[in-house]
Amino acid sequence: MPGMRAIEVRRAHADQGQHRPLCLPAASRYAAGMDAYVLEAMGEEAVLLRLGDQVAADTNRAVHSLAKRLRARAPAWLRDCVPAYATLALFVDTDIVGCDPLRRVAALLRELEAAPDVTGRGHGAVLEVPVCYDSDFAPDLAALAAHAGLTTEEVIRRHHAPVYQVAMTGFAPGFPYLLGLDPLLAMPRLGTPRTSVPAGSVAIGGAQAGIYPRESPGGWRLLGRTPLTLFDARRDPPALLSPGDRLCFVPIDRLRFDSLSENRTR
pLDDT in tens, 157-169: 999 999 999 988 8
Residues 91 and 132 placed together within one structural domain of the fold: no
- Residue 120 in any domain: the answer is no
Percent of the chain with pLDDT over 90: 45
Residues 154 and 214 placed together within one structural domain of the fold: yes
Residue 73: predicted pLDDT: 83
Q: Would you say 47 and 102 are in contact if contact means Cβ atoms under 8 Å apart?
A: yes
- Residue 119 in any domain: the answer is no
**Is pLDDT at 76 greater than 60 in this prediction?**
yes
Residues 130 and 255 placed together within one structural domain of the fold: yes
Task: Pick 106 or 194 by higher pLDDT.
Answer: 194
- Residue 57 in any domain: the answer is yes
Task: Pick 62 or 221 by higher pLDDT.
Answer: 221
Strands (E) in the chain, as ranges, are: 5-12, 19-22, 29-30, 36-41, 46-50, 78-83, 87-92, 126-132, 164-169, 176-179, 194-197, 201-205, 208-211, 216-218, 221-225, 246-252
- Residue 199 in any domain: the answer is yes
Q: What is the CATH number of the domain that holds 102?
A: 3.30.1360.40
Task: Pick 98 or 196 by higher pLDDT.
Answer: 196
- Per-residue pLDDT reduced to its tens digit, 18-53: 443 433 332 233 333 334 578 888 888 888 888 888
Residue 14: predicted pLDDT: 34
Q: Would you say 71 and 175 are in contact if contact means Cβ atoms under 8 Å apart?
A: no
- Residue 18 in any domain: the answer is yes
